[in-house]
Structure 1
Amino acid sequence: MLSGPPVTTTVRADQLLERFLAANPRQRRSLLSQVQQRAAELRPLIPEQIDRLDATADDWAAGLLIQLLVAEDDSLSQAFRQRYSDGWLAVTSAAGLDYGPLQQALMDQAFEEADRLTSEHLRQLAGEAAVKRGYVYYSEVPPIASVDLESLDRLWVVYSQGRFGFSVQIRLLRSLNGRWEQLWPRLGWKQGGVWTRYPSAFTWSLEAPEGHLPLVNQLRGVRLMDALLSHPGLQQRVSA
């Protein structure tokens, strides 16, 4: 008896979306390519799903879906941007900073612009003296409100598939038992953490190594980054 060709079953777009959102982080990674490949089918379903998700959490699945939605300049994207003109993720600032432009840059995967804005916000949070000199002293980091560093970190985590952010850098440093000299190559930074703004020196996409962004100025050694990653607000996010 001859057997016919194997029967292939394609999961419906709505089923794939539900499965992706319900999956644990490891399962989501395995579904990621399917979701990206079927973006055209999924996009009309995304706005309704986004309304059901928690905008105060830091689930990168939401960020991915938003990036798929706004990737095309059509009525779906325009309606979403109009509805969430400051970005979907709910972030707050004790210093009264507007994180809307940063969120928009991350939504569009404009990571170089997002990194520039993050550095600017860190100077603003450090105080007027840091803004005037153009960089932050390590001693100016501890007084920064936890809620602002948490907001910056959540934005990076949500819109990078969980690959970028200060909390990601903390986890990597912990996995290396605090060995800074081993952290730099893991982040894809130059040995010794030498920081530069030359575009060719960094990878401004999700193809970058885990923890590659945001950048922290290391021209004066590791003290600034150590102060930042040691901040209680960020430490608490990793310990939670």
Structure 2
Amino acid sequence: MLSGPPASATASAEQLLERFSSSSPRQRRSLLPQIEARSQELRPLLLQALRGHDPDGDDWIAGLWVQMLLAEDDNHSQALLEEYPGGWLNLASGDGIAYAPLQEALAQRSFELADRITSEVLRQLAGSEAVRRGYVFYSEVAPMPSLDLTSLDRLWVCYSRGRFGFSVQGRLLRACNGRWDQLWPRLGWKSEGTWTRYPSGFQWNLEAPEGHMPLINQLRGVRLMDALLNHPALQHRIVTG
């Protein structure tokens, strides 16, 4: 007896969205190709679907809906921008940082620009001397506001399908038993002590290895990245994420 077509092939757009939203993280990954293949059919439904997510969280499904809505300049993207002019994700700062430019870059999948903005924000959080010199000392990380490091991480997680962000890097380091020499290849970075942004040693898209972004300057060793990943705000997200 011949079986009929798989349920995924006959599911309505509404059913596919519901199945995707209620699935486990692993199941979501397997459904992504169907979501992307039916993007035109799904886009009229995404703004309403987005309203069902928490803008104070970091569910990457919501980030995916935003990116799909912004993929074309049409009524759907305009409706999104009108409803959420400052960006969908609610973000807090203890240092007066405006996160709209970073959220816009990530929502548009402009990952290289987002990485540069992230570096700028870290310098601002470190203080005027870090801004002047153009880089952050590891000793300047501990006083950084927890609100801001949490906001930075939430942004990267939300708009990368959960694949990028400080907390992702921290969990990968834990999986490597704290071995930095094992972490670099997993991130797709060259090695400790190298700065891989130029000329072409970095991959600025969602096909990059998990934890590939944001890029942390390793020219002075691992101390800056170690300080970031051990900040209480990020430790909380690493452990609970």
TM-score band, normalised by shorter chain: over 0.9
Shift in alpha-carbon separation, 1:12–1:194, aligned structure 2, 3 A:
same
From the superposition, tell whether residues 184 and 37 of structure 1 become closer, same or farther in structure 2 (CA, over 3 Å). Answer: same
Root mean square deviation of aligned Cα:
1.2
What secondary structure does 2:164 align onto?
Answer: coil
Structure 2 residue aligned with 1:156:
156
Does the 8 Å contact 2:189/2:196 carry over to 1? no
Say which SS state the counterpart of residue 170 (structure 1) adopts.
Answer: helix
Normalised TM-score (structure 1): 0.96
Which residue in the other structure is 2:11 paired with? 11
**Alpha-carbon distance between aligned partners in 1 of 2:181 and 2:39, rounded to the nearest angstrom:** 40
Write the deviation string for residues 50-109 of structure 1: whole angstroms up to 9, x where unpaired.
111111111111111111111011111012122212210111100010000100100010
TM-score (norm 2): 0.95
Q: Counterpart of 2:93? A: 93
Using the alignment, how far apart are the partners of 1:106 and 1:38 within structure 2?
A: 22
Aligned to 1:204: 204
Give per-residue Cα distances to partners, 1:201-230, cap 9 Å, x unaligned. 100001100000000011111111110111
Counterpart in the other structure of 1:145: 145
Shift of residue 197, structure 1, vs aligned partner: 3.1
1:44-55, aligned counterparts within 5 Å? Answer: 44-55=44-55
* Mapped pair 1:32 → 2:29: no
Does the CA contact (< 8 Å) of 1:43 and 1:69 recur in 2? yes
SS at 1:221 equivalent = coil
Give me the whole-angstrom Cα distance separating, in 1, the residues matched to 2:37 and 2:210. 22
Question: Which sections of structure 1, spanning at least 5 residues, go unmatched?
Answer: none
1:129 match: 129
State the distance in 2 between where 1:24 and 1:58 align: 16
1:191: Cα distance to partner?
1.6
| Deviation at residue 196 of structure 1 after TM alignment | 3.7
**CA deviation after TM superposition for structure 1 residue 199, in Å:** 5.0
Between 1:227-236 and 1:77-86, the stretch displaced more is 77-86
1:162-177 pair list within 5 angstroms: 162-177=162-177
Superposition deviation, residue 7 in structure 1: 3.2
Q: Structure 1 residues 198 and 21 mapped into 2: Cα distance closer, same or farther (>3 Å)?
A: same
1:137 and 1:224 in contact (8 A); partners too: yes
Partner residue, 1:62: 62
The 3-state SS of whatever aligns with 1:200 is: coil
Contact 1:46 1:65 in 2 (8 A): yes
Equivalence for 2:104? 104
C-alpha distance in structure 2 between counterparts of 1:202 and 1:86, whole Å: 29
Moved more, 18-27 or 91-100: 18-27
Question: CA–CA distance in 1 between the matches of 2:86 and 2:199?
Answer: 27
Asked if 2 retains the 8 angstrom alpha-carbon contact of 1:86 and 1:101, the reply is no
Distance 1:60 1:193 in 2: 32
Q: What stretches of structure 1 move > 6 A for 4+ residues in a row?
A: none
Instruction: For residue 238 of structure 1, report the CA deviation from its aligned partner.
Output: 1.6
CA contact (8 A) 2:193 2:220 kept: no
Conserved in 1, the CA contact under 8 Å of 2:70 and 2:77? yes
| Contact kept in structure 1, 2:138 and 2:224, CA below 8 Å | yes
Count of aligned residue pairs for this structure pair: 237
Cross-structure match for 1:120: 120
Q: Percent identity?
A: 63
Aligned partner letter, 1:63: G
Alpha-carbon displacement from aligned partner over 1:110-169 (angstroms, at most 9, x marks no partner): 000000000000000000000000000000000001110010000000100100000000
SS at match of 2:200: helix
Distance between the aligned counterparts of 2:68 and 2:156, measured in 1? 16
Distance in 2, matches of 1:105 and 1:204, equals: 12
